[in-house]
Amino acid sequence: MSDEQAEKSCYVCNVDAKEVVVLPCEDKGEAKWVCVRCLPPLIHGR
């Protein structure tokens, strides 16, 4: 039994990983998940 997928959602917009692709990332040393929609702005910074 694996519940590794259970709590995956984008930490920016909170979209569920079942609806959109989310990728592992790190924010200030904390492991997070971010969806592909929120990732580009994060890469470019604001």
**Residues making contact with Zn ion (CB under 5 A):** 10, 12-13, 35, 38
The encoded tokens of residue 7 equal: 């709590």
* Cβ nearer to Zn ion, comparing 2 with 28: 28
* Cβ nearer to Zn ion, comparing 2 with 44: 44
Shortest gap between Cβ of 23 and Zn ion (angstroms)? Answer: 10
| Residues ≥6 apart with Cβ < 8 Å to 34 | 10, 11, 12, 22, 23, 25, 42
* Cβ nearer to Zn ion, comparing 12 with 17: 12
